[in-house]
Amino acid sequence: MNKSVCALVHKPGSTREAFQRYYEDNHAPLAVGLFPFSRYVRNHLVDPGAFGWDTISEFWSEDIAEAASLMDGPIGETMRADEARFMDRTRIAPGGSEELVLSTGAPADSDGRRTCLLLRDTAGLEQFRQVAKQWAGALAKNQTGVSIDLVTSWQQPSFPAAAVIWLPGWIADIDVPSQLVVTILRARRVETPAAMLLSQKGK
């Protein structure tokens, strides 16, 4: 299974709350009926401050490149028309992910709360990824439900992190290694039930 991630933000003149509400009520159900997702998650950010985006979405598919290519046809026209209703399309920031699940368990707490640790690459890709995975692995020793996405941006604007470590719950105190530049964000995770996904219908 392949994975991609995408950072998204509301259109000028709107708000984060309106964006996230429209996403859940309209855009996500539309996408579910058009794309062969194996899993589909929206992480709606809470008080993101100066981060600059409202939601980080996660998409899984048996062939993520094939799923993304649907944007080149009629499905893409439908999706772009809906995106224009609520998001700033000039700031869509997607990327491919190498996902590593480091400890078993629920990816969010019972209220859907989740902590996102966004890591920027300031040390060169190979060294950065090694340090990022070591830190994520250390966090996973004391925490269930920990995973890391090692991200390769697909276009400009680039995805706003070279890696994302996901932790269940909202964690206030995190000891960040000195060699990493990290943005800590709180999110509410919403996952589309598997039975509603196009890839699962008819099974």
Q: What is the pLDDT along the chain (203 residues), one digit of tens a residue?
A: 699 999 999 999 999 999 999 999 999 999 999 999 999 999 999 998 899 999 999 999 998 888 889 999 999 999 999 999 999 999 999 999 999 999 999 999 999 999 999 999 876 767 899 999 999 999 999 999 999 999 999 999 999 999 999 999 999 889 999 889 999 999 999 999 999 998 776 55
Q: Looking at residue 179, what is its pLDDT? A: 87
For residue 64, the model assigns a pLDDT of 82
Residue 33 corresponds to which tokens in the numbers above?
């009926």
pLDDT at 160: 97
Place of tokens 């991200």: 151
Question: How many angstroms from the chain centroid is the CA of residue 6?
Answer: 5
Whether residue 108 contacts residue 114, with contact meaning beta carbons closer than 8 Å, is answered with: yes
Nearest to 91 by CA among 159, 20, 28: 159
Query: Is the Cα dihedral 27, 35, 53, 185 positive or negative?
Result: positive
Cα 40 to Cα 134: distance, rounded to the nearest angstrom: 27
Q: Would you state the CATH architecture of domain 2-196?
A: 2-Layer Sandwich (3.30)
Radius of gyration of the CA atoms of the chain, in A: 16
Tell me 11's DSSP state: P
Query: How many Å apart are CA 129 and CA 186, to the nearest integer?
Result: 23
The two structure tokens encoding residue 162: 């070279």
Looking at residue 198, its pLDDT comes to: 84
pLDDT at 99: 98
What's the confidence (pLDDT) of residue 203? 54
User: What pLDDT shows up at residue 202?
Assistant: 55
Determine the pLDDT at residue 178: 87
Alpha-carbon separation of residue 108 from 14, 61, 157 (angstroms)? 28, 21, 28
Of 41, 178, 24, 143, nearest to 86 by C-alpha is 24
Report which of 133, 187, 138, 137 is spatially closest to residue 162, judged by C-alpha positions: 133
Taking the C-alpha atoms of residue 27 and residue 86, their distance in angstroms, rounded to an integer, is 9
